[in-house]
């Protein structure tokens, strides 16, 4: 319900606040100081600083972050009039993580974040299926509030014991099993190529991470698939609601498509001070090996007025010559 959570010692993370009435906060571990430098290792337990779920790091990867909120020096501004007031943005390296979400917390966050957002194209030739692994997420370094626990199975997830093994001599005391190492080896090269795009309009920050998923042959042509993960964050105290999306999708084959619709993934999320963020994934296919997308989200204020929030332009690249697309889990 609403209202603030009862006070608890500052040093103890607890399970999500929006718990059923009368349910006591449970201690899940002891907070550690977040890392200012360096990265978290496989097996690091954490609370998600935005969505509040318990999770564990499977592995880190380096992404290129293109942050449009960080203005480039004037001298570097490109002279061309191309693009929509486009700024020259330099990518900088930023650490992201592939993580498991605790299944006990999935019901609490399902209204704010899809817990089946990480999808794969099935690798079997006879299958055109898109399948999801529940309870996987991509998180940024600053999303992580690290904690330690004496529990040997602190995270409930069907893959936890397949991927990780308890080893009390290690810090953190969970080490990767061969299955995780094999899966990481297959998926890492593909994650390593990812770009992250970020832009803020009127205190609404939009972060987009596109991922190449692979190519399918259809009626003598090739169809290339991407997933894109989007996070919307309200950095202000005013409540706003997402009403519409408006996309432009340009393909290297020369086509430009416009997509308009109500909300996103069938929802029109409200972003408030209490629940400032919403995250979802969607998919796009092109008949060319690359292209790009950009657009706007239309938000409504409590007084009924509307404003448009820019979705930073991002490219869809297949890098088809370099990498094989990600593969799911084969046991």
Query: What tokens appear for 212 in the block?
Result: 């190449």
For residues 146 and 34, the answer to whether their CB atoms sit within 8 Å is yes
Cα R_g (the chain), whole angstroms? 21
Query: What tokens appear for 266 in the block?
Result: 């069938």
SS3 219: coil
Mean pLDDT computed over 89-106:
94
For residues 58 and 42, the answer to whether their CB atoms sit within 8 Å is yes
For residues 291 and 251, the answer to whether their CB atoms sit within 8 Å is yes
Range(s) of the chain covered by CATH 2.60.40.1470:
199-319
Q: Does the 199-319 domain belong in CATH 2.60.40.1470?
A: yes
Strand partners, 225: 214, 285
Distance of alpha carbon 154 from alpha carbon 53, whole angstroms? 13
- Cβ atoms within 10 Å, residue 219: 5
For residues 159 and 59, the answer to whether their CB atoms sit within 8 Å is no
Query: What tokens appear for 214 in the block?
Result: 């692979």
Provide the b/e sequence for 58-72 (b: ≥16 CB within 10 Å).
bbbbebebbbbeeee
Using the Cα atoms of residue 222, residue 262, residue 112 and residue 202 in order, give the sign of their dihedral: positive
Q: Is the pLDDT of residue 208 over 70?
A: yes
pLDDT digits (tens, 9 = 90+) for 131-163: 888 899 999 999 999 999 989 999 999 999 999
Mean pLDDT computed over 275-280:
96
Q: Is the pLDDT of residue 128 over 60?
A: yes
For residues 54 and 105, the answer to whether their CB atoms sit within 8 Å is yes
Mean pLDDT computed over 43-52:
96
pLDDT band at 20 (very low <50, low <70, confident <90, very high): very low
| Mean per-residue pLDDT over the chain, rounded | 86
Mean pLDDT computed over 152-179:
95
Q: Would you state the pLDDT for residue 5?
A: 44
Mean pLDDT computed over 205-211:
96
pLDDT band at 80 (very low <50, low <70, confident <90, very high): very low
Q: Would you state the pLDDT for residue 81?
A: 41
Q: Which range, of 111-120, 229-238, 264-273, 318-327, averages the lowest pLDDT? A: 318-327
- Closest Cα to residue 59, out of 207, 210, 172? 172
> What is the enclosing helix (H) or strand (E) of 106?
helix 106-109
For residues 46 and 155, the answer to whether their CB atoms sit within 8 Å is no
- Closest Cα to residue 66, out of 90, 50, 49, 96? 90
Q: Is the pLDDT of residue 71 over 70?
A: no
Question: Could you tell me the pTM of the whole model?
Answer: 0.85
pLDDT digits (tens, 9 = 90+) for 246-266: 999 999 999 999 999 999 999
Q: For the chain, give the percent of residues with pLDDT over 70.
A: 82
Q: For the chain, give the percent of residues with pLDDT over 90.
A: 66
Q: Would you state the pLDDT for residue 35?
A: 94
List Cα–Cα distances, 305 to 23, 100, 134, 178, 278, in angstroms. 39, 39, 37, 54, 21
pLDDT band at 19 (very low <50, low <70, confident <90, very high): very low
Q: Which of 218-232, 267-281, 309-323 has the highest mean pLDDT?
A: 267-281
- Closest Cα to residue 204, out of 231, 167, 171? 231
pLDDT band at 321 (very low <50, low <70, confident <90, very high): low
Q: Would you state the pLDDT for residue 75?
A: 42
Q: Would you state the pLDDT for residue 78?
A: 44
Mean pLDDT computed over 35-62:
95
pLDDT band at 331 (very low <50, low <70, confident <90, very high): low
Mean pLDDT computed over 98-117:
91
- Residue 97 zone, left/alpha/beta (φ > 0; ψ -120 to 50; rest): beta
Q: Say which residues have a Cβ less than 8 Å from residue 296's Cβ, sequence separation at least 6.
A: 245, 246, 308, 309, 310, 311
Q: Is the pLDDT of residue 121 over 50?
A: yes
Distance of alpha carbon 243 from alpha carbon 231, whole angstroms? 15
Q: Which range, of 163-167, 213-217, 327-331, averages the lowest pLDDT? A: 327-331
The label of the residue with tokens 């899809």 reads: 114
């Amino acid at each position: 319900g609403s209202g603030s959570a009862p006070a608890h010692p500052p040093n103890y993370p607890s399970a999500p606040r929006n718990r059923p009435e009368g349910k006591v906060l449970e201690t899940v571990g002891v907070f550690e100081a977040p890392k200012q430098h360096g990265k978290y290792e496989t097996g690091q337990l954490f609370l998600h600083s935005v969505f509040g779920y318990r999770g564990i790091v499977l592995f880190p990867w380096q992404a290129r972050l293109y942050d449009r909120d960080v203005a480039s020096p004037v001298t570097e501004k490109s002279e061309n009039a191309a693009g929509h007031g486009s700024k020259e943005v330099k990518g900088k390296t930023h650490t992201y993580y592939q993580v498991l979400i605790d299944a006990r917390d999935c019901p609490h966050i399902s209204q704010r974040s899809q817990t089946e957002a990480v999808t794969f194209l099935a690798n079997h030739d006879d299958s055109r299926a898109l399948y999801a692994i529940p309870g996987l997420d991509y998180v940024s370094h600053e999303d992580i509030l690290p904690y330690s626990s004496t529990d040997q199975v602190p995270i409930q997830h069907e893959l936890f014991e397949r991927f990780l093994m308890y080893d009390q001599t290690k810090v953190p005391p969970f080490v990767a099993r061969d299955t995780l190492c094999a899966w990481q080896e297959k998926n890492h090269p593909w994650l390593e190529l990812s770009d992250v795009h970020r832009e803020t309009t009127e205190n609404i920050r939009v972060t987009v991470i596109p991922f190449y998923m692979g190519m399918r042959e259809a009626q003598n042509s090739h169809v290339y698939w991407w997933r894109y993960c989007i996070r919307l964050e309200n950095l202000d105290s005013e409540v706003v609601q997402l009403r519409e999306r408006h996309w432009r999708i340009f393909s290297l084959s020369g086509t430009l498509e416009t997509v308009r619709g109500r909300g996103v993934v069938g929802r029109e999320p409200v972003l408030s001070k209490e629940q400032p963020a919403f995250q979802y994934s969607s998919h796009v296919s092109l008949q060319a090996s690359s292209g790009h997308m950009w657009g706007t989200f239309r938000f409504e204020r409590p007084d009924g007025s509307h404003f448009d929030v820019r979705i930073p332009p991002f490219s869809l690249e297949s890098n088809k010559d370099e990498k094989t697309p990600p593969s799911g889990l084969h046991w």
